Chains A and B, each alone.
Chain A
Amino acid sequence: DTEVTQTPKHLVMGMTNKKSLKCEQHMGHRAMYWYKQKAKKPPELMFVYSYEKLSINESVPSRFSPECPNSSLLNLHLHALQPEDSALYLCASSRISGYTEAFFGQGTRLTVV
């Protein structure tokens, strides 16, 4: 199984809503990531978890709150988002060793209204 599964695939939320994005992998990868991608732009790293601990936070606003409940799951909790947060949110995973590519999920297309 070389899949990273993200749910939901599409999400529309109001600026006062609270929602969560979910990501799951069963490849035994101990590094998991959240990326944000705007249209026609490259992915931008948001968070990195290594062995279920947050190791990198790329100065992301607190309205985005990551959580790694176990080695297979990664969540991104969303609260009080702005319209400019609308984007494709990609989850990825990789081995910790560093000499390997990341495997990306299909993404959640988020629209904030």
Chain B
Amino acid sequence: ELKVEQNPLFLSMQEGKNYTIYCNYSTTSDRLYWYRQDPGKSLESLFVLLSNGAVKQEGRLMASLDTKARLSTLHITAAVHDLSATYFCAVDINTNAGKSTFGDGTTLTVKP
């Protein structure tokens, strides 16, 4: 059974600081996704990582994938309040993208 673990589960950081969220998974996979969810809202796709060594960046967020270590990271650079949300990683081991196993999520709060 595929297990996906995120840490930390809760992260409080000050504006301007950098931090990294980690996502470990238990079974070989080359498809990993990062989603963002604002309170009471739906999930928004941030990154799709499809190969070992993949790195993608959008604004202050950068995601990477190491399939050999079964690890993905989401790095936050110079955090701003608008980044406050819950971030989920999700891993596929089947052909359908939607059959993803999600991590428990990291709730990020960025304080002034």
- A, B: real partners: yes
* B66-105 contacts to A (CB < 8 Å): 88, 92, 94-100, 102-105
Chain A: which residue is nearest B44 at the CB level? A104
User: Is A31 within 8 A of B97, CB to CB?
Assistant: yes
Which B residues are closer than 8 A to A by beta carbons? 31, 33, 35, 40-45, 48, 50, 88, 92, 94-100, 102-105, 107
A33, A99, A105, A107: the one within 8 Å of B98 (CB) = A33
- Is the beta-carbon distance between A48 and B99 smaller than 8 angstroms? yes
A98 CB within 8 Å of chain B: yes
Known A90-B43, A105-B42: A45·B98 in contact at CB below 8 Å: yes
B31 surroundings in chain A (CB, below 8 A): 98-99
Interface residues of A (CB under 8 A from B): 31-33, 40-43, 45, 48, 50, 55-56, 90, 92-107, 109
What are the residues of chain A within 8 A of B43 when measuring CB–CB? 43, 90, 92, 104
Contacts of A100 in B (CB 8 A): 48, 97
